[in-house]
Structure 1
Amino acid sequence: MQNNGIPVVNVPIGPGSQDEGDMVLDYMKMPSEMASYDLPILPEAEIVAECPQALAVLEILQENLDRYRVGDIAQTIPLVALAEHDLDIINQILGEGEVSITIVGPRVIKVQETVLAGVWRIRAFDASGTLIDDAMEIADIPTLVKTHAFSTQRPLVFDAGALPEGVLNAPSVLVEIQEASHRYKEAAAVGQVSDIAHVINLSLLPFSPQDHGFLTEITGTGPVTMLSRGYGNCRITSTQTEGLWRVQYFNSTDQLILDTLEVTDIPLVACAAQEDLDDSAERLKEIREVLV
């Protein structure tokens, strides 16, 4: 009689059972962190009670937040004369939010959004790095951003007949920028700047490194740089072409995922909306109720 049974073969399985040779496990890098709002650790009410100047600043801040509407003139609260202990309390309560701004000029200005959207901490430093001014401002975007963004602007001029080697698509984009910037300038002259930006998506264009370099050289780099942190980062840089901003989005692994140019007054992604300001007013009210 023949044995027609199926032979059983012992095949090793599990970790270490496969001979991968020179193969190396490769996988997409996972997100490492995400910036998000954390409620600041508030000081004890007894400590705050010993800082009347800090309490007075918070009361003024509340009044300004309650009545401020997007488009209004920004409201400023000076802090440079505040006592050190009171200033420490303000720093602890307001903390740091998602948006930071650097303005380079005769003096360096550092702007940091607080945990209350639309409430900005503005510090100015001289050439030696010494603090010379300190204030809070309630606004959708700080006034200094608007006044300094294109303070170094220059005419957008290039010779289409003498392009550097490797430059192919940048000239057509520059022509589009010229036209959009001219329309923006005309509208601004009569106070009719639209909230709708003219957007050029460079990520969708076959742009070479030479194209990017030539575009940056011709449009220039302005004095304002803004960084908005969230799930990934958004870097916004003014140029030396009136109304033109470079807006770049990075994912949480710091890879560039969207590269755009915007012709507009201020890119909306950097601005606090009215809903954000209303929420900030409510949150400050809750914080003050805990502290007082």
Structure 2
Amino acid sequence: MSWDRSSMPEQTDSTVVVTGANSGLGYEATEAFAGHGADVVMACRSLDRAEAAAEEIRATLADGPAWASAPDTGSLTVVELDLADLDSIARFAEQFAERFDELHVLCNNAGVMAVPRGETADGFERQFGINHLGHFALTGYLLDHLRDTAGETRVVTQSSGVHEQGEIEFDDLQRGQSYDKWDAYAQSKLANLLFAYELDRRFEAAGENVTSVGCHPGYADTNLQFRGPEEEGSTLRLLAMKGANAVLGQSAAKGALPMLFAATEEGISGGEYVGPGGLLNMRGAPEKQESSAASYDEETAARLWDVSEELSGVEYDLPDA
């Protein structure tokens, strides 16, 4: 199957939230949604970078790219969101409620990868805190908007193929006893899928017309790979990452396709997983795939859910799966 952004159905009158919308996959997804008529809320930590990205997207869409399907370009609204700060997440939800009545798609996209150990404003290990707990809290705060919006709405959570090496260390979730940057990243990406699937099971149990889907971008050439080496001050590793991106990575625009497919394709059902279908699932057109056996472990998912509610202080008004 060949599927690209020109394959997206029109999104006019849809409201979409994209976290990390100012760069990489989030930027490309934002441009695609707006080019198909959606009103996109760019949820970003840096307002300056987000506003600059919004201007770039508006300039691109003003030229009328061939892939854009809507008669009118959608709007772009920048709202501050720091996923490493639970207070910032709560403020974002308040501002969203003041400006918007509906939410058709929530793209839990932002994240960090293989960074030195650090803590969020609330004392969580950064990769677990930003990649999983921040999005868990955000989705909980936006829950009523999703289920009160007419028609089907979706939550799309970005994971990674690295989730296959992940293990949820309940005895040391914050990796304070022993920290390996890649193990911590793999744990956070497995947590993303456990959350995505458990959320869909709970939506189904509640009879809600909301679906939750997981996805991964394959190997995409973005700045995500550079943050770890930059924070470590490792010029050698930074050069190695740039070389790997150039040789192995597909473009950020193509890396965003699984998220766009998961968010808009009519044939998607809740609890599914979407990724590139080409070489080693690292590149190519998006398709439905299977994630690791661990990601479908309902007992682990339920336990992680309870722990996430306790840590984030955000409780979902949804029944157990």
Which has more helix, going by share of residues? 2
Q: Which has the higher contact order (CA 8 A, sep 6+)?
A: 1
Normalised by the size of structure 1, how large is the TM-score? 0.23
Normalised by the size of structure 2, how large is the TM-score? 0.22
